C-alpha cells in the first residue's frame, strides 16, 4: 500500500496494491495489521454506504465529541470529489480544506481523522460511496457546515448541485463553533 501525506496534517491518501489478471482485479480494502504498522490505530465500529446521482453534494458533516468519528472513505462504483475541512482550533491549517478525486480507477482511500468536516460531490450517476467510521452515529452529536460557505471557498465544479434541505440550512463557517 502506498501512503501519501497531504498538505493538512493527519489527512492521508492510501492507494492499495492491486493485483490484476485475466479474471479482473483484487486488492485488500482493509487490513488491521497493515494499518497499525502505519500508525493508524483506528478501531472501526460501523460501515456506511450511500448511492448518489451525479451532482449530489453530501456534507459538510461531522460529529462532535464524545461521538467524533475518524473516517476511512472510498468509492466502490463511480467517482467523487471528496473534501475534508480542518476544524482543529490549534491546527495551523484550521479552516483550510483538502480535496481529491476518488474513483474506481485509482481505488484510493482517504483517511480523515477526528477534527474534520467531510463532504463529497458525486461525479457520476449511481456513485457508491463507502466509509468505515471509528465511532457510532449519534444524532445529538451531529453537526454540519454549509457546503458553499464563502470563507471555505470549496470549488465543487458545479453551478447547481443537488443538496438536501438540511445541508442547505447548515451554519456558515464564521458562525460555527468548533468542538475540536
Residue 153's pLDDT is what?
97
**Which listed residue (53, 61, 118, 136) is catalytic?**
61
Strand partners, 99: 83
| Distance in angstroms (rounded) separating the CA atoms of residues 132 and 143 | 18
Is there a contact between 151 and 174 (Cβ–Cβ < 8 Å)? yes
Mean pLDDT value across residues 123-150: 97
When pLDDT is cut at 50, 70 and 90, the band that residue 134 belongs to is: very high
Residue 30's pLDDT is what?
86
When pLDDT is cut at 50, 70 and 90, the band that residue 89 belongs to is: very high
Is the domain spanning 2-17+42-175 CATH 2.60.120.10? The answer is: yes
CB under 8 A, 24+ apart: contacts of 136-141:
136/45, 136/46, 136/67, 137/46, 137/48, 137/63, 137/67, 138/63, 138/67, 141/63, 141/64, 141/65, 141/66, 141/67, 141/68
Domain ranges of the chain: 2-17+42-175
When pLDDT is cut at 50, 70 and 90, the band that residue 31 belongs to is: confident
When pLDDT is cut at 50, 70 and 90, the band that residue 32 belongs to is: confident
Our answer to whether residue 137 is catalytic in this structure is no
| Distance in angstroms (rounded) separating the CA atoms of residues 50 and 37 | 29
Our answer to whether residue 131 is catalytic in this structure is yes
**Which listed residue (97, 118, 131, 136) is catalytic?**
131
Residue 40's pLDDT is what?
78
Mean pLDDT value across residues 153-171: 96
pTM of the model: 0.94
Amino acid at each position: 500500500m502506498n501512503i501519501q501525506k497531504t498538505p493538512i496534517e493527519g489527512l492521508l491518501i492510501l492507494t492499495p496494491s492491486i493485483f490484476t489478471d485475466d479474471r479482473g482485479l483484487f486488492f485488500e480494502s482493509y487490513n488491521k495489521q497493515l494499518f497499525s504498522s502505519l500508525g493508524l490505530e483506528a478501531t472501526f465500529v460501523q460501515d456506511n454506504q450511500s448511492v448518489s446521482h451525479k451532482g449530489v453534494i453530501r456534507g459538510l458533516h461531522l460529529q462532535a465529541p464524545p461521538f467524533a468519528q475518524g473516517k476511512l472513505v472510498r468509492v466502490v462504483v463511480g467517482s467523487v470529489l471528496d473534501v475534508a475541512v480542518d476544524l482543529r482550533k490549534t491546527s495551523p491549517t484550521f479552516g483550510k480544506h483538502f480535496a481529491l478525486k476518488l474513483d474506481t480507477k485509482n481505488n484510493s482511500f482517504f483517511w480523515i481523522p477526528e477534527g474534520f468536516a467531510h463532504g463529497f460531490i458525486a461525479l457520476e450517476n449511481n456513485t457508491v460511496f463507502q466509509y468505515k467510521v471509528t465511532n457510532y452515529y449519534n444524532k445529538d452529536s451531529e453537526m454540519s457546515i454549509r457546503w458553499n460557505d464563502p470563507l471555505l471557498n470549496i470549488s465543487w465544479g458545479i453551478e447547481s448541485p443537488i443538496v438536501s434541505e438540511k445541508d442547505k440550512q447548515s451554519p456558515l463557517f464564521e458562525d460555527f463553533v468548533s468542538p475540536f
